[in-house]
């Protein structure tokens, strides 16, 4: 990544057992630092190498990450619905037969028209940013801006490929399509992942069931350890054990933990030791439990 610029770096789906942490790529969306190297001038100066390309994640499974990552991604869902039998193989062979110089000619055209493309991009982005933000005032600002950038660059394509096929009508329809992707992304971020929804369904079911303490007293809210009314503190090991006792299928913790941090219904706060309200009162010392802590009510009007 440090050896090239103006290139899209494509990350293909890998082994499900060795998933990479997509959160590591968040700084790259805004020219993140890749590495620092010392300059040989007998001083303390360093050469800072920043990311100057694009990222493309190509995989079958839908990406599930934090809001900061999801709001920076443009999701393009590819299916076979539009394909015509017999034509797909024909165009594949045509593409494979093309010479490298012909296939990569767009890159040379783009670089030689850099000033024109950037000028067009700035003009279209200024227009589309206002347009997209005005369509839905409740949409996260970052989602509107990032999708407006994609649409602005789409309007620059005729400079590279000509306007024979990329007519004004096609570009207008492309702008509307990109807007629908922005709306879809906003809707996705406003609701929880299915596994998180299942987690809270199980929580409500198990938490309302009574449990008896060692002294025979009834323990209510048996999964919530928090002494503070505004928080929910859940010990995942205990939660998993209660699910097994109730014969409920519990998802793998490796898959569940990163998703819980994206919880919308009860926003994630932190993971820490908390003073538990469920320990026996007769003991001298205060018992603690290692819990995932959530806000009982989501804050309203959060945008970004």
Q: Is residue 41 part of a domain?
A: no
DSSP class per residue in 75-97: -----STTPPTTHHHHHHHHHHH
* Alpha carbons 31 and 61: distance in angstroms, whole number: 27
Q: Are residues 72 and 176 in the same domain?
A: yes
| Domain endpoint, select from 151, 170, 190 | 190
Q: Helix or strand or coil: residue 29?
A: helix
Q: Is residue 144 part of a domain?
A: yes
How are beta strands 218-219 and 231-234 bridged, if at all? Answer: unpaired
221: left (phi over 0), alpha (psi -120 to 50) or beta: left
Q: Are residues 164 and 249 in the same domain?
A: no
pLDDT digits (tens, 9 = 90+) for 202-239: 998 888 765 544 444 445 677 899 988 899 999 999 99
| Domain endpoint, select from 131, 156, 190 | 190
Q: Are residues 109 and 219 in the same domain?
A: no
pLDDT digits (tens, 9 = 90+) for 133-176: 999 988 999 999 999 999 999 999 999 999 998 999 999 999 99
Contact between 22 and 28 under an 8 Å Cβ cutoff? The reply is: no
Q: Is residue 55 part of a domain?
A: no
Q: Are residues 170 and 249 in the same domain?
A: no
pLDDT at 18: 59
Q: Are residues 222 and 106 in the same domain?
A: no
Q: How would you class 45 by CB atoms within 10 Å of its CB: exposed for 0-12, middle for 13-18, buried for 19 or more?
A: exposed
Q: Is residue 14 part of a domain?
A: no
Q: Is residue 121 part of a domain?
A: yes
Number of domains in the chain: 2
Which of 256, 223, 237, 261 has the alpha carbon at shortest distance from 23? Answer: 261
Q: Are residues 285 and 211 in the same domain?
A: yes
Q: Are residues 198 and 278 in the same domain?
A: yes
Q: Are residues 95 and 127 in the same domain?
A: yes
Q: What is the mean pLDDT of the chain?
A: 84
- Is the full-model pTM beyond 0.85? no
Q: Are residues 280 and 177 in the same domain?
A: no
Contact between 276 and 288 under an 8 Å Cβ cutoff? The reply is: yes
Q: Are residues 135 and 207 in the same domain?
A: no
Q: Is residue 139 part of a domain?
A: yes
Q: Are residues 116 and 228 in the same domain?
A: no
Domain with 228 in it: 194-295
Q: Are residues 167 and 74 in the same domain?
A: yes
| Domain endpoint, select from 125, 157, 190 | 190
pLDDT in tens, the chain (304 residues): 777 777 788 888 755 555 667 878 887 877 777 777 777 777 778 888 888 888 888 888 778 778 888 898 899 888 777 788 888 888 889 999 999 888 888 888 999 999 999 999 999 999 999 999 999 988 999 999 999 999 999 999 999 999 998 999 999 999 999 999 999 999 888 888 889 999 999 998 888 765 544 444 445 677 899 988 899 999 999 999 989 988 898 888 888 998 898 888 899 999 999 988 876 554 545 578 899 999 987 654 444 4
């Amino acid at each position: 990544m440090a050896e090239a610029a103006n290139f899209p770096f494509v990350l293909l789906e890998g082994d499900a057992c060795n998933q990479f942490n997509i959160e590591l790529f968040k700084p790259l969306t805004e020219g993140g630092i890749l590495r620092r190297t010392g300059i040989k001038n007998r001083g303390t100066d360093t050469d800072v190498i920043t990311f100057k390309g694009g990222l493309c994640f190509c995989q079958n499974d839908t990406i599930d990450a934090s809001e900061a990552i999801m709001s920076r991604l443009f999701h393009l869902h590819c299916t076979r619905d539009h394909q015509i039998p017999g034509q797909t193989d024909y165009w594949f062979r045509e593409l494979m037969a093309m010479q490298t110089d012909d296939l990569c000619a767009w890159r040379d055209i783009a670089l030689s028209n850099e000033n024109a493309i950037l000028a067009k991009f700035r003009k279209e982005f200024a227009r589309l940013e206002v347009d997209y933000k005005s369509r839905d005032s409740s949409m996260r600002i970052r989602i509107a801006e990032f999708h407006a950038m994609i649409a602005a660059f789409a309007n620059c394509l005729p400079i590279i490929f000509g306007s024979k096929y990329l007519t004004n009508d096609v570009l207008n329809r492309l702008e509307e399509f990109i807007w629908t992707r922005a709306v879809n992304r906003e809707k996705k971020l406003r609701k929880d992942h299915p596994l998180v929804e299942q987690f809270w369904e199980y929580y409500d079911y198990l938490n309302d069931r009574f449990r008896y303490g060692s002294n025979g007293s009834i323990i209510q809210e048996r999964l919530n350890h928090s002494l503070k009314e505004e928080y929910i503190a859940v010990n995942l090991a205990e939660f998993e054990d209660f699910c097994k006792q109730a014969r409920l299928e519990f998802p793998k913790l490796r898959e569940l933990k990163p998703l819980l941090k994206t919880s919308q219904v009860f926003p994630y706060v932190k993971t820490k030791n908390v003073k538990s309200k469920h320990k026996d009162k007769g003991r001298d010392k205060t018992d603690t439990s290692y819990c995932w802590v959530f806000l009982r009510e989501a804050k309203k009007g959060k945008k970004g």
